[in-house]
Structure 1
Amino acid sequence: MTHTAAKPYTRRWAALAVLSASLLLVVMDMTILNVALPEMSAELKPGAVELLWMVDIYSLVVAGLLVTVSALGDRWGRKRMLVSGFAVFGLASVAVLWADRPAEVIAVRALLGIGGAMIMPSTLSMIRSLFTDGRERATALGIWAAMAAVGGALGPITGGLLLEAFSWHAAFLVNVPVMAVAIVAGLFLLPESRNPAPGRWDALGTVLSVVGMVAFVYAIKHLATEGPGVSTIGAAALAAITLVWFVRRCLRRQDPLLEVRLFRSGAFTSGTLAALTTSIAMAGMMLLMVQWMQLVQGYSPLQTGLAMLPMAAGSAVLSPLAPAMAARIGARTVLAGGLAIAALGFLVLWIAPTTYPWVAVSVLLIGAGMGSLAIASAVIMSGAPEEKAGSAAAIEETSYEVGGTLGVAVLGSLAAVLYRAGLPESATPAVRESLGGALAVARELGSSDLAVQATRAFTESLEVTSLYGGVLMLVAAAAVWWLTPARLDLASAHH
């Protein structure tokens, strides 16, 4: 530790405010894009592949860099890494003003990904070093997780408001003033912390982790859109080779780039699994939900954002309460129970008629289930000693990122297959490609039958995909219950 023992006690809650606000913004930014996409597509006219990259590049870059950036932050200083991340994020957001072609938007999103990768794990590992008391840390992580949930819900609303008043560029520019404030506040309020004995830098491990993660995420995404083609199988093989090599290398070294041995702790593994599955189910469903609201129900971006509010409400209420609930009924019950409640939310969409009141019930339950995952971070961090905080944070963030990618790829492509199956044989490629394409063709032809068929096919695909999402969450709940130690006490997790 490079700061004195007195420092965390004076400004730690103010520091938490800076960390939570920065996380809020990064998460908002990821969801604002979903709302802005239709307008961006209309103006920039990207091809199918370009559109995919506009969405994907952010998570590819974040997933690729998380491990390296966290290890660098542990050495270079987590505060430095965080404030630099704010600067990169802010500058990338300004650069969007000059982006008027799909390739330029992709470049801006890649830069935002670099900033995001610098910010996300740094906030988590700094909370670990700021809050030395286990109970306080569990509360701080609960607040941090609530911010992530609120950011996810505020993103579409903020995006909707901005898009009704300005062009899609505003969805990016909103970051700039907040990042400027975050840089100043961060410099004054955050103490510096780093790993006191970092050991030698592993250059080969760095290359393996970046190549492996990018290839892995790329393979998942392209398997979804193109099926098992040459490039997809090649990327999957490359990912398998490099990631296995990376893990073996980490296990052999005294001072690995990523502390893979943390998975020996059942608590650590269950927290990571909870983060991964929630993020798979959430990302896939958010993508489909937003399309259903805008294309089937005809909601504006702002109305879509407001319609998703019950999710934020459920999460914002339960996230800060989760640590206290865990102290009373046990972390295991809260973590597995949260996954089960979210599963119920998904199953509501499958069982009940797909009308907005039922959708609201569904997203409220999903949000409440996510809220109890506020302690997933505390469970993960309790399974890691302080000098390995960066590694633990990197693994947690990676599981969120990879989960989000898997969700969009697996549940998204499953929904696409189901959607196509619900269309007549004679449907043209544009109609089969997406619901947006089908509705555009229906307008050109003046065919209300086609529009009705396509929206029905899409709604049915949403319902069946929800069933799979619900089953996934139930399986995860059972696994988490089995893995988490029954007497895990987050308050006494000092290490």
Structure 2
Amino acid sequence: MTLASAAGPVTGPAAPHPRRWAGLAVLSASLLLVVMDMTILNVALPAISADLRPGAVELLWMVDVYSLVLAGLLVTASALGDRWGRKKMLLTGFAIFGLASTTVLWAGSPAQVIAVRALLGVGGAMIMPSTLSMIRTLFPDARERATALGVWSAMASLGAALGPILGGLLLEHFSWHAAFLVNVPVMAVAVAAGLFLLPESRNPAPGRWDAAGTVLSIAGMVALVYSIKQFGKEGVAVPGAWVALGVAAVTLGWFARRCLTRPDPLLEVRLFRSRPFSAGALVAVTTSVAMAAMMLLMAQWMQLVQGYSPLETGVRLLPTAVGALLVSPVAPALASRIGTRAVLSGGLAVSGLGFGMLAVAPMTYPWVAAALFLVGLGMGSLAIASAAIMAGAPPEKAGSAAAVEETSYELGGLLGVAVLGSVAAAVYRGSLPQAPVEGVLSGAAADAVRESLGGALEVAQRAGTAGAELVRQAKAAFSLSLEVTGLAGGGLMLVAALVVWWLVPRDLDVTAGHH
């Protein structure tokens, strides 16, 4: 059954699909797993490194190849789903994700693990936007759709929180292969349930495929992601990163021009003419920038400064997910009562205050937990951002809307780690004494201390009695870098709250239909 044509925004109410809530359960469960998997793999990387002994470049590719492939293929996968069928695209993504996870049993070298991660990126690019665009067509009623997107958003928050906990549990009892193999039975169930519960939907008049646009979007996104990652790791003095950024600017500019001049573009760039749509995309980017940097630093702070295990760290990061889970499902009702603009701007402001708390409150766990809970509360209300993006797109353009949202989250996360991560590193280095533990360290050891807290702790172990003072200095410097980054993230959220307040019309109600 094709819902795309039946879910028109203007021609009167469409008949809702009878199995739409069961379909939502399949979509939400699959999203939960994909998000969990990303975080599980981050937890597993130290174990993979210890077993396979990858070189520095191989380790970088293990980390980076997933997001390079995912970001590169999001637009193409979404456009293909609109034409070929979103259900087919989603189930194919499940199958590729499951098969890639199985092949890890034969992965005995860093290159083979990189190949598995790349294949997982292909599956992820098919799954992530398909879940969103299918919600757009499963729920033609705007109020039901806003509720469904609230559930979808809550599952994403829950997946990000449960990933480190499940990863910690698996790694305590099994080898690193378990971090991949846990996907296999779940993807098999998702394919079986999806076949029966999900209806097919596609754009009824997709037009001609833009082969040149496909190449430009993939090359541009891969170049952009690569340049952001290189700037984050090496600083601004890297010629290769500037070349990649130049390639990205040319190819993405050319791609945007093609999309604006064609009647049947790969990505409906004209959606940005809708102020609510633009506001939703801005919210996605801003929250990802702040969250990605903060969660990376917070996990290190809990393990290296506070001394918690990976599993204990995962449990102590839960207040964010609890806050998000409390608010996400009720965000649509809140928006219909006090207005979409108030919920979107208010959510950004509450999260911003949570980030700011890290800078002004004592760095003890009860205060950190309260700050994380505030951040989660704000994030929960931002489920409305997805509703604003989806309400700004007609059903036949659902793939384009989903691609924009997923790309916004992906780029936001990368920018957060690159930009705020660089700020944190600069604060850490700058707040260490000029000669840490005078007379004890020199040369490579001093460089290792300045490079990272982990390096400082390793050097301290070999420094004898002077090591205790080095540990104290390095931990104090890292805690300060976390506080400053919290302040920067909070400031960014508050500025975004003002811009969103300006962008979103006062009378916009994403629970009341197409805008």
Does residue 192 of structure 2 align to residue 197 of structure 1?
no
Which residue matches 2:442?
A: none
Report if the CA contact (8 A) 2:16-2:141 is conserved.
Answer: no
Relative to structure 1, the CA distance from residue 425 to residue 99 in structure 2 (aligned partners, 3 Å threshold; closer, same or farther) is: farther
Counterpart CA distance in 1 for 2:425 and 2:180 is 29
Which residue matches 2:513?
A: 493
Counterpart CA distance in 1 for 2:368 and 2:109 is 36
Which residue matches 1:449?
A: 469
Query: How many matched pairs?
Result: 495
Which residue matches 2:305?
A: 296
Tell me which of 495, 507, 511 is aligned to 1:475. Answer: 495
Residue 102 of structure 1: how far off its partner (Å)? 2.8
Which residue matches 2:406?
A: 397
Counterparts of 1:27-66 in structure 2 under 5 Å?
27-66=35-74
Which residue matches 2:2?
A: 2
Query: Aligned AA for 1:456?
Result: A
Query: Aligned AA for 1:401?
Result: E
Query: Aligned AA for 1:389?
Result: A
Report if the CA contact (8 A) 1:278-1:473 is conserved.
Answer: yes
Residue 424 of structure 1: how far off its partner (Å)? 3.6
Deviations, residues 18-48 of structure 1 (Å, cap 9, x unaligned): 0000000011111112322333333333344
Counterpart CA distance in 2 for 1:55 and 1:350 is 29
Query: Aligned AA for 1:394?
Result: A
Relative to structure 1, the CA distance from residue 440 to residue 97 in structure 2 (aligned partners, 3 Å threshold; closer, same or farther) is: farther
Counterparts of 1:239-258 in structure 2 under 5 Å?
239-258=248-267
Which residue matches 2:10?
A: none
Does residue 84 of structure 2 align to residue 76 of structure 1?
yes
Residue 464 of structure 1: how far off its partner (Å)? 0.7
Secondary structure of the structure 2 residue equivalent to 1:428 = helix
Counterparts of 1:341-490 in structure 2 under 5 Å?
341-426=350-435, 428-446=446-464, 447-490=467-510
Identify the range of structure 1 (78-87 vs 7-16) with the bigger mean alpha-carbon deviation: 7-16
Query: Aligned AA for 1:359?
Result: V
Counterpart CA distance in 1 for 2:46 and 2:423 is 21
Does residue 223 of structure 2 align to residue 215 of structure 1?
yes
TM-score for both structures, normalised by structure 1? 0.97
Does residue 162 of structure 2 align to residue 154 of structure 1?
yes
Relative to structure 1, the CA distance from residue 339 to residue 18 in structure 2 (aligned partners, 3 Å threshold; closer, same or farther) is: same
Secondary structure of the structure 1 residue equivalent to 2:362 = coil
Deviations, residues 263-311 of structure 1 (Å, cap 9, x unaligned): 0000000000001100111111111111111111111111011001111
Query: Aligned AA for 1:219?
Result: S
Tell me which of 94, 97, 100 is aligned to 1:86. Answer: 94
Which residue matches 1:179?
A: 187
Residue 437 of structure 1: how far off its partner (Å)? 1.7
Counterpart CA distance in 2 for 1:42 and 1:304 is 21
Counterpart CA distance in 1 for 2:379 and 2:208 is 38
Counterpart CA distance in 1 for 2:295 and 2:176 is 20
Deviations, residues 92-148 of structure 1 (Å, cap 9, x unaligned): 111222233333222211111110000000000001111111111111111111111
Which residue matches 2:131?
A: 123
Which residue matches 2:440?
A: none
Which residue matches 2:105?
A: 97
Counterpart CA distance in 2 for 1:144 and 1:46 is 37
Residue 449 of structure 1: how far off its partner (Å)? 1.8
Deviations, residues 315-349 of structure 1 (Å, cap 9, x unaligned): 01100010000000001100110000100110010
Query: Aligned AA for 2:323?
Result: G
Relative to structure 1, the CA distance from residue 41 to residue 444 in structure 2 (aligned partners, 3 Å threshold; closer, same or farther) is: farther
Report if the CA contact (8 A) 1:430-1:441 is conserved.
Answer: yes
Identify the range of structure 1 (87-96 vs 34-43) with the bigger mean alpha-carbon deviation: 34-43
Larger radius of gyration: 2
Report if the CA contact (8 A) 2:281-2:408 is conserved.
Answer: yes
Report if the CA contact (8 A) 1:132-1:494 is conserved.
Answer: no
Tell me which of 283, 286, 297 is aligned to 2:292. Answer: 283
Residue 182 of structure 1: how far off its partner (Å)? 0.2
Counterpart CA distance in 1 for 2:107 and 2:478 is 32
Report if the CA contact (8 A) 2:352-2:490 is conserved.
Answer: yes
Deviations, residues 228-283 of structure 1 (Å, cap 9, x unaligned): 31101100100010111111110011000000000000000000000110011111
Residue 8 of structure 1: how far off its partner (Å)? 4.5
Identify the range of structure 1 (247-256 vs 422-431) with the bigger mean alpha-carbon deviation: 422-431
Counterpart CA distance in 2 for 1:29 and 1:161 is 14
Relative to structure 1, the CA distance from residue 436 to residue 44 in structure 2 (aligned partners, 3 Å threshold; closer, same or farther) is: farther
Counterpart CA distance in 1 for 2:54 and 2:279 is 40
Report if the CA contact (8 A) 1:310-1:363 is conserved.
Answer: yes
Counterpart CA distance in 2 for 1:153 and 1:125 is 24
Counterpart CA distance in 2 for 1:236 and 1:103 is 26
Report if the CA contact (8 A) 2:319-2:369 is conserved.
Answer: yes
Once superposed, which parts of structure 1, at least 4 consecutive aligned residues long, lie more than 6 Å away? 4-7
Percent identity between matched residues is 72
Residue 157 of structure 1: how far off its partner (Å)? 1.0
Deviations, residues 379-433 of structure 1 (Å, cap 9, x unaligned): 0000111110000000000000111111111111211121122234446222222
Which residue matches 1:163?
A: 171
Query: Aligned AA for 2:446?
Result: T
TM-score for both structures, normalised by structure 2? 0.93
Over the residues paired in the alignment, what is the CA RMSD in angstroms?
A: 1.5
Report if the CA contact (8 A) 2:2-2:202 is conserved.
Answer: yes
Counterpart CA distance in 2 for 1:310 and 1:128 is 30
Secondary structure of the structure 1 residue equivalent to 2:18 = helix
Report if the CA contact (8 A) 1:267-1:383 is conserved.
Answer: yes
Residue 7 of structure 1: how far off its partner (Å)? 8.1
Report if the CA contact (8 A) 2:305-2:475 is conserved.
Answer: yes
Identify the range of structure 1 (295-304 vs 92-101) with the bigger mean alpha-carbon deviation: 92-101
Query: Aligned AA for 2:456?
Result: A
Which residue matches 1:18?
A: 26
Counterparts of 1:298-317 in structure 2 under 5 Å?
298-317=307-326
Does residue 272 of structure 2 align to residue 263 of structure 1?
yes
Counterpart CA distance in 2 for 1:459 and 1:107 is 36
Relative to structure 1, the CA distance from residue 462 to residue 330 in structure 2 (aligned partners, 3 Å threshold; closer, same or farther) is: same
Relative to structure 1, the CA distance from residue 473 to residue 255 in structure 2 (aligned partners, 3 Å threshold; closer, same or farther) is: same
Q: Structure 1: 5+ residue runs without aligned partners?
A: none
